């Protein structure tokens, strides 16, 4: 099986602890003194059994293998070896043994006066599944034995009623599951001594033990509740802003910590095979989400090769963990214990190897000299320490039944205990790491919110600026009906147009598009509009205006460019037009033909040609940016010149033309300007 879980279990509601406290007080008030017990000729004699409990201590007859006849009370087990019930058979001469084995004990009870006629048993953990026989009759079981085994893990303190017994043979038929790669050799059978007593005393003893277990889990329960809360809040915050991937990985990481506890720390009765599969997958997802959480906290997400390598490791890790978890379903029907152990070692290897990834990410951040605040460096340091301790611990327990290394046990040994809660070095490091991550994420969220507010203020300023650059109120042009429409793809776009009256009664119209979007494009537009206003003071020729714009823009667009069309419209309908890499306007449904030209800002010196045409009555001239032409449907189809020709044939207003492109599928800023000749001067 994989390396030990890197986090401790624990999730319970506080009410359970308070309920258990009440149970414990009742148990202490009612638990009587145990009866005396001694061994006579291999028979456990219990004198004066009344309301108390007595341990089934001393030597038990023990034999490996399986034979249903061994349950019979008259079976001669005198040649069997003897083991005690306070330790496993692995610790008593049968290391690494798996499969069937039997325990037998002859018991004689002398009840106390006025004692309850019925007797009950309390059986602590028996590794793994077992059946109980009293005088050859099966009186209970936990799990199921082969040929269709069902094993439960970590569910101790089972109670069984034996009825009004006085003497007989108690036989326990045990089946031990195959060992995993990190299992020691001292497993199998009884782990703690069973007890016998009256039903009320056994129930009180079980309640007392359950209370002590709950008390020992208080810290784990509280921390796991924090895991769940952090997972929920992080996920809700991520849903509000899907670009905040740090919050997504924080949510997944905390959720897997919670799932880890639910699966292995709640004493839930589900089959071992299902539990192993779910635990392995949950641990793998938790580890991989922790990697990506570190990548975002250490600001390494800007390195695509590192992200790809981490993603590949995540796929390998989760896949191998899934395969590893499925091995339990194959044993013992399809693979033997040896085959399972070999496969387990192979599928565990990636998990053990990838435990160094957090340390590697921290080292990479240091190598790249990332400028991180103290909070993130604290996370990095704790992640490095946690990863190192976790890796050393898990590597030391792989194959421990052969190496007999004790380093893993020493690392997990409690450093101190508080109200029954043990605190080991891994527990302390894991807790500090999680709390530092939570604090770092909170700091990140607050800082990110500040940056968003600052950007929103900048965008608000840009929108206000653009309202000046793209006029909302159009001037009246004698003899022409003028309409306009502007639809930015983002809050701030890169399209622009200006309508400037000239002294001789003509009008200059400049419409264009700056490469890119957002605030950067808007600032370039403000520079262009200012330059146009300046150039108009010295010339009204469209070609000269475009040439002047080109000189001013060259080297100032940071690798970008701008397209534009300049039009001088005279009162008699004469139009003089020049184009700089911009889509050609339409007159009615016919596209104007221009010689090929470069956009503005590409070359330091560029010349532009002018064309002249006459607009007749009811003729419509349509100027537009490429966002209209390049609208894209959900199927990926462009709006195209064919649709554009059909659209302008209907003589639409600018708003109608822009809306047609938006309905088709807007992909870029869209600006449309139409001029319709409504009267001809005499």
- Tell me the DSSP string of 506-541: -EEEEEEEESS-HHHHHHHHHHHHHHHHHHHTT---
> CA-CA distance, 314 to 320, in Å (whole number)?
10
- Could you give the 3-state DSSP secondary structure of residue 102? strand
549 with 528: CB under 8 angstroms?
Answer: yes
Long-range contacts of 232-235 (CB under 8 A, 24+ apart): 234/441
The backbone torsions φ and ψ at residue 423, rounded to the nearest 5 degrees and listed phi first, read -125, 110
Residues of the chain with pLDDT under 70: 1-40, 458-472, 490-493, 518-519, 679-682
CA-CA-CA-CA dihedral for 222, 227, 231, 234, to nearest 10 = 90
In sequence order, what are the residues at sequence separation of 6 or more whose Cβ sits closer than 8 angstroms to the Cβ of residue 62? 80, 81, 82, 83, 89, 101, 102, 103, 104, 189
* Prediction pTM value: 0.65
CA 235 to chain centroid: 9
CATH topology of domain 218-445: Rhopdopsin 7-helix transmembrane proteins (1.20.1070)
Gap between the terminal Cα atoms of the chain: 96
CATH topology of domain 34-213: Jelly Rolls (2.60.120)
DSSP-assigned beta bridge partners for residue 484: 673
Peptide bond into 332 cis (omega under 30): yes
332 with 146: CB under 8 angstroms?
Answer: yes
Share of the chain above pLDDT 90, in %: 43
CA 429 to chain centroid: 21
> CA-CA distance, 290 to 323, in Å (whole number)?
21
pLDDT of residue 37: 63
pLDDT of residue 35: 59
pLDDT of residue 25: 37
Residues of the chain with CATH 1.20.1070: 218-445
Residues of the chain with CATH 2.60.120.260: 34-213
> CA-CA distance, 515 to 582, in Å (whole number)?
12
pLDDT of residue 24: 43
Report how far apart, in Å, the C-alpha atoms of 317 and of each of 249, 279, 347 are.
17, 13, 9
Residue (of 602, 469, 455, 600) closest to 518 by Cα position: 455
> CA-CA distance, 151 to 143, in Å (whole number)?
5
pLDDT of residue 468: 60
Report how far apart, in Å, the C-alpha atoms of 415 and of each of 222, 373, 421, 424, 427 are.
20, 31, 11, 5, 10
**Residue whose structure tokens are 């038929």:** 173
CATH code given to domain 470-677: 3.60.40.10
298 with 383: CB under 8 angstroms?
Answer: no
pLDDT of residue 467: 60
> CA-CA distance, 314 to 286, in Å (whole number)?
10
Residues of the chain with CATH 3.60.40.10: 470-677
Q: Which helix (H) or strand (E) holds 176?
A: strand 167-176
In sequence order, what are the residues at sequence separation of 6 or more whose Cβ sits closer than 8 angstroms to the Cβ of residue 115? 49, 50, 51, 198
Sign of the dihedral defined by the CA atoms of residues 488, 493, 494, 500, in that order: positive
pLDDT of residue 571: 84
């Amino acid at each position: 099986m994989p390396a030990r879980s890197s986090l401790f279990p624990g999730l319970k509601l506080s009410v359970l602890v308070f309920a258990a406290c009440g149970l414990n007080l009742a148990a202490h008030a009612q638990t009587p003194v145990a009866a005396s017990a001694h061994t006579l000729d291999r028979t456990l004699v219990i004198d004066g059994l009344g309301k108390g409990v007595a341990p089934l201590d001393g030597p038990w007859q023990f034999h490996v293998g399986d034979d249903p006849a061994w349950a019979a009370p008259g079976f001669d087990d005198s040649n069997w070896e003897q083991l005690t019930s306070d330790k496993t058979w692995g610790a008593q001469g049968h290391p690494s043994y798996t499969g069937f084995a039997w325990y037998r004990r002859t018991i004689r009870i002398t009840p106390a006066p006025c004692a309850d006629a019925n007797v009950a048993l309390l059986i602590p953990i028996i590794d793994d599944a077992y059946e109980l026989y009293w005088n050859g009759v099966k009186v209970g079981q936990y799990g199921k034995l082969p040929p269709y085994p069902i094993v439960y893990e970590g569910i101790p303190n089972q109670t069984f009623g034996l009825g009004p017994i006085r003497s007989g043979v108690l036989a326990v038929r045990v089946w031990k599951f195959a060992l995993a790669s990190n299992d020691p050799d001292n497993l199998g059978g009884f782990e703690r001594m069973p007890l016998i007593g009256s039903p009320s005393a056994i129930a009180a003893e079980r309640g007392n033990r359950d209370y002590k277990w709950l008390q020992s889990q208080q810290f784990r329960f509280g921390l796991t509740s924090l895991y769940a809360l952090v997972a929920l809040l992080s996920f809700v915050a991520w849903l509000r802003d899907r670009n905040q991937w740090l919050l997504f990985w924080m949510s997944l990481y905390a959720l897997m910590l919670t799932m880890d506890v639910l699966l292995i720390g709640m004493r839930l009765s589900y089959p071992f095979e299902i539990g192993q599969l779910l635990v392995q997958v949950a641990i793998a997802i938790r580890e991989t989400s922790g990697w990506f959480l570190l990548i975002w906290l250490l600001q390494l997400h800007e390195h695509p090769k590192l992200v790809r390598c981490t993603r590949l490791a995540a796929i390998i890790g989760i896949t191998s963990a899934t395969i590893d978890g499925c091995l339990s379903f194959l044993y013992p029907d399809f693979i033997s214990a040896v085959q399972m152990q070999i496969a387990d070692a192979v599928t565990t290897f990636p998990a053990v190897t990838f435990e160094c990834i957090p340390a590697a990410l921290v080292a990479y951040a240091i190598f790249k000299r990332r400028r991180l605040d103290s909070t993130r460096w604290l996370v990095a340091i704790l992640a490095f320490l946690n990863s190192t301790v976790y890796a050393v611990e898990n590597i030391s327990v792989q194959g421990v039944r052969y190496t007999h290394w004790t380093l893993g046990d020493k690392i997990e040994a409690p450093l101190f205990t508080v109200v029954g809660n043990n605190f080991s070095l891994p527990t302390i490091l894991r807790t500090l790491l999680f709390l530092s991550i939570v604090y770092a994420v909170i700091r990140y969220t607050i800082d990110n919110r500040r940056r968003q507010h600052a950007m929103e203020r900048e965008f608000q300023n840009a929108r206000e600026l653009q309202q000046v650059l793209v006029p909302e109120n159009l001037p009246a042009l004698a003899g022409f009906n003028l309409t306009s429409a502007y639809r930015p793809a983002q809050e701030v776009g890169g399209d622009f147009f200006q309508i400037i009256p000239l002294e001789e009664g003509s009008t200059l119209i400049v419409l264009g598009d700056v490469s890119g979007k957002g605030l950067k494009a808007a600032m370039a537009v403000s520079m262009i509009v200012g330059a146009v206003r300046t150039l108009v003071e010295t010339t009204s020729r469209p070609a000269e205006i475009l040439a002047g714009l080109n000189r001013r823009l060259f080297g100032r667009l940071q690798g970008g460019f701008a397209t534009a069309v300049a039009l001088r419209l005279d009162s008699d309908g004469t139009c003089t037009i020049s184009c700089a890499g911009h889509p050609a306007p339409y007159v009615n449904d016919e596209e104007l033909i221009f010689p090929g030209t470069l956009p503005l800002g590409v070359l330091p010196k560029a010349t532009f040609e002018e064309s002249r045409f006459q607009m007749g009555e009811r003729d419509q001239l349509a100027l537009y940016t490429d966002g209209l032409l390049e609208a894209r449907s959900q199927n990926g189809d462009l709006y195209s010149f064919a649709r554009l020709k059909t659209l302008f044939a209907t003589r639409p207003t600018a708003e109608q033309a822009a809306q047609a492109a938006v309905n088709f599928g807007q992909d870029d800023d869209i600006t449309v300007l139409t001029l319709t000749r409504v009267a001809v001067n005499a």
